[in-house]
Structure 1
């Protein structure tokens, strides 16, 4: 479920999807995204090796990640922005998010977040740790999935991906994922130990703020909210790593 949902890697569908399977899939999200993170790091390393401009290298790396995830999280970011910007009425906001199109708020948010990601990764490439920054940020973003699906976080709808995964991850496991992510980021080569930890912390902080906003406005999470959390966490982690 983790690989099939979060990547384009062809895998057999799960025989059964219950709360245990859903929770495990969200916890294993960073593991499923390892090929995407590795691909982004390799693109950065290869682009630098052949002398491509830093901005082009950053854009190519982000494009590979988007392609490898079907643009799922980017779509969620745009839909969530449209829903939050459309109406203070919960039902209307959820209806806007359910539609397949993107409005001006969603498009603008998508552009701004991608500009932040590309600009920050460009800075990391120029500082000679772009490959590491790409890997750490991609994985940090997926680590926030377990937080967004922790026990006590409700679903905004009675159906859909959000309903399947909402509250499916025990809180202690969600906390453990964040601590392990921070510990591993502290060991990232080419970075001061504190910068990797700060990047993970920044990603979690921004994703948690968005999660709290969506719970208040929408009544809980949806699949779109999960994707929005991932992309905003990636942006925050990259900004921290660009310093």
Structure 2
């Protein structure tokens, strides 16, 4: 298989992992999750385009910014199957309700959602919708949607690089290979989609980084590393922080 064909296959694996968007079936050699990790930001950029299209379409119909933003967030949830939101809820339940590391990991693997998870989702999604509405206004700009969706997926990749797997199995372990060119390729994609935002890109990067570091430090202290739920929480929290930064830096549309 040629190098371009391998990269395309890796991109499709990343899309299969992070979204519910149809990308067809892979025949022959199937790349590992670790090999596909460079493409997380690229997949995120696609999700950002979907969210922007829904927000812009709703605004064009004359819907208020708050409703347009809520529909955009709903479109993102549908596009990803709520994967990252589920991770945030599981992390909140585990860290909030577990007495020790083993119990926290056990709770995080439970498919049921508890009060900590509900509260975490309500706060993060509520903040995101409100901030997005303030940025989008009546003419939603494409740039922040793509930049933050890609940047928050790079935050996941960065935490994969920085933290060891907390389990001997699961998504965090399967995708947890470190080093090589792949993290740099992911960073290049994230930076490329942020460049059109000009000076505001630095503020958004700072917000994304601070939020990702906060979740990573918490995960290291609570369970000793990363899991798929930790990565989902990183995406949600950094995305929310990015939208708050965008509201402060970019204002209304």
TM above 0.5, one fold?
yes
CA shift at 1:138, angstroms?
1.3
Q: Offset of 1:44 from its aligned partner?
A: 1.8
- The corresponding residue for 1:158 is 168
CA pair 32-181 structure 1, distance change in 2 beyond 3 A: closer
Shift of 1:183: 4.8
The answer to which of 175-184 and 118-127 deviates more is: 175-184
Q: Which moved more, 1:175-184 or 1:99-108?
A: 175-184
Partner of 1:51, secondary structure, is coil
Q: Give secondary structure in 2 for the equivalent of 1:62.
A: helix
Which string of whole-angstrom CA distances, capped at 9 and with x for unpartnered residues, describes residues 155-190 of structure 1?
A: 111111111112x131775356336523531323xx
Once the two structures are superposed, residues 12-36 of structure 1 have per-residue CA deviations (whole angstroms, 9 ceiling, x without a partner) of 2586677xx3233221012223332
In structure 2, which of residues 2, 16, 21 is the aligned counterpart of residue 9 of structure 1? 21
1:61 alignment partner in structure 2: 72
The answer to whether the 8 Å contact 2:84/2:236 transfers is yes
Contact 1:94–1:218 at 8 Å: present in 2 too? yes
Q: Which sections of structure 1, spanning at least 5 residues, go unmatched? A: none
Secondary structure in structure 2 of the residue aligned to 1:22: coil
Tell me if 1:185 matches 2:194. yes
| Contact 1:55–1:119 (CA under 8 A) maintained in structure 2 | yes
1:31 matches 2:42: yes
- C-alpha RMSD of the superposition: 2.1
Deviation at 1:231, TM superposition (A): 0.7
Listed as ranges, the gaps of 5+ residues in structure 2 are: 1-12, 249-253
- CA distance 1:132–1:184, shift in 2 (3 Å): closer
Q: Residue 244 of structure 2: SS of its match in structure 1?
A: helix
| Cα deviation code 1:91-141 (max 9, x no counterpart) | 000000010101100110000000010011011012844443222221111
Matched, 1:125 2:136: yes
The alignment's TM-score, normalised by the length of structure 2, stands at 0.85
Question: How many corresponding residue pairs?
Answer: 235
Task: Show CA shifts across 1:74-97 (max 9, x none).
Answer: 000000011111124000000000
Is the contact between residue 55 and residue 140 of structure 2 (CA under 8 Å) also seen in structure 1? no
Partner of 2:7: none
1:175/1:186 Cα in 2 relative to 1: closer, same or farther (>3 Å)? same
Alpha-carbon shift at residue 153 of structure 1 (Å)? 1.8
Q: TM-score, normalised by structure 1?
A: 0.88
Residues 1:83 and 2:88 aligned together? no
